Amino acid sequence: MKLKHFLLPILFLFFIFGLSYFSMATPDREISELENRGLAQFPDLTKDSVLSGEYFKEFEAYFTDQFFGRDQWVKLYTIWEMMMNKTYVNGYHVTKDNWIMAQPSNTLKKEELNASAAALNTLGTRLQEKGTELYYFPMPAKVFEMAELLPSFVPRGKGIESTDYLLSNLNPNLVNGVNVSKKLNKEVSFEKKKDYYFKTDHHWNIKGAFFGFGSLIEEVSKTQPIKKELNVEENYTFSCEKGRELIGSWNRNLHMLVDANDDRACYYQPKEFSLAEMDYYNGSISEKNKMAYSEYYATGLQTKHSKLEYHDTYANNYPELNIVNEEVNNETRALLIKDSYANPLVPHIASLFKQTTVFDPRYDKKRSVNDLLETSSFDVVIILYNSNNLTGDMYQFDQPAK
């Protein structure tokens, strides 16, 4: 009888100390491939860190990250939450037909949006003094454009309203701000928009990207000597890779539990011109920086991997990339300031101009946009961010990335 009373506490202690032992005995991991992030490492024990309490916070983070079988425990918990039909699991809603939607922001951050507008206007003033056109394209982000997939009782977010607000505060004499979201929703039904985004990733696919490309051509051609329209059916071939599933960014945060068979790597290629014929440089234009098209775009297709991430389906992010197109019939030099939504389009955009410098403010820790403008001259500057990226460090054009 006494054994029964002690059995449960003994098993509990055995479980707790057993897990603790295995956690300490198992080599620490530097990254979690499942979560795509770095894991906390054993903290340095110093007098100052102990007295400030920082050591204990860091040790708690370390123990949590390095806990034995952590990925499996977290995955099991996620499975349980999904089985309970919670509206959001880890901040994501999963529909019956395997669309993953992040919980959108429901705050209109006017103060921060005003700061972004002021920064764009200031940049426009500087460029106007140089005789350079500035275009700003907040491209329609999935988190807001596909919000109708969320349950009817869930707020849809303030993304579209935030885009409208930011664009309304731009000086049209300094910045050509283009409301691609308004154009998309005017011309494309919601059902058709489903063809424009990956189900399990936060990015658009090549069809959505080409809608943005068409909008870019339509606007920039008003002041620059490039082609006037994008005729996809006549001038491009469309193809998809079979048997290659996408590792969606939002699916990764749900431990790849959602079927992603509908998310495929698809491409548009010009019929009368090869993107591979352009010259690509990882950094400034020099022979040592030259790279092949296949080293930059769709690098995952050079492997036998059955699963591709967004960056190797299209392109990775570089601090600076230069692309020279000797075949184009103009001498225009363009600067493309971008986030990852531009990655499917970079070679296509570069095909419009004689020389295109691609700058990603997130990855250059030494130079700001203004630093780049001090050393180079351009005929047109194009900022292409997604509409979930309307505020923050990427609008601090006078400072390097933090």
pLDDT, one tens digit per residue, over 141-178 is 999 999 999 999 999 999 999 999 999 999 999 999 99
User: What is the distance between the alpha carbons of residues 384 and 138, in angstroms, rounded to a whole number?
Assistant: 6
Percent of the chain with pLDDT over 90: 76
Instruction: Report the b/e string of 270-303 with b at 16+ CB within 10 A.
Output: eeeeebeebbbbbeeeeeeeeeebeebbbbbbee
User: What is the distance between the alpha carbons of residues 327 and 157, in angstroms, rounded to a whole number?
Assistant: 44
R_g of the chain computed on alpha carbons:
24
Q: Are 348 and 102 in contact (CB under 8 A)?
A: no
Summarize the chain as % helix, strand, coil (round to 5). Answer: 40, 20, 40
pLDDT tens, residue by residue, 50-78: 777 776 676 566 656 655 556 666 677 77
14 or 46, higher pLDDT: 46
Q: For residue 88, name the pLDDT band (cuts at 50, 70, 90).
A: very high
| pLDDT value, residue 47 | 72
Report residue 16 as tokens. 């707790």
On the question of pLDDT at 18 being above 60, the answer is no
User: What is the residue-averaged pLDDT of the chain?
Assistant: 89
User: What is the distance between the alpha carbons of residues 8 and 111, in angstroms, rounded to a whole number?
Assistant: 57
pLDDT tens, residue by residue, 315-339: 999 999 999 999 999 999 999 999 9
Containing 281, the helix (H) or strand (E) segment is strand 279-281
User: What is the distance between the alpha carbons of residues 68 and 28, in angstroms, rounded to a whole number?
Assistant: 10
| pLDDT value, residue 12 | 55
| pLDDT value, residue 357 | 98
On the question of pLDDT at 16 being above 70, the answer is no
Question: Residue 199: CB partners within 8 Å, gap ≥ 6?
Answer: 98, 99, 100, 248, 258, 260, 262, 263
User: What is the distance between the alpha carbons of residues 191 and 194, in angstroms, rounded to a whole number?
Assistant: 5
Report residue 28 as tokens. 């620490």
Q: Are 207 and 240 in contact (CB under 8 A)?
A: no
Question: Residue 323: CB partners within 8 Å, gap ≥ 6?
Answer: 278, 279, 280, 281, 346, 347, 350, 355, 356, 358
End-to-end CA distance of the chain: 64
Amino acid letter, residue 71: D
Per-domain residue ranges for the chain?
Answer: 105-395
Mean pLDDT comparison of 12-21, 133-142, 239-248, highest-scoring range: 133-142
Report residue 189 as tokens. 């039904």
pLDDT tens, residue by residue, 342-394: 999 999 999 999 999 999 999 999 999 999 999 999 999 999 999 999 999 99
CB-facing half-sphere around the CA of 378: CA atoms within 13 A: 28
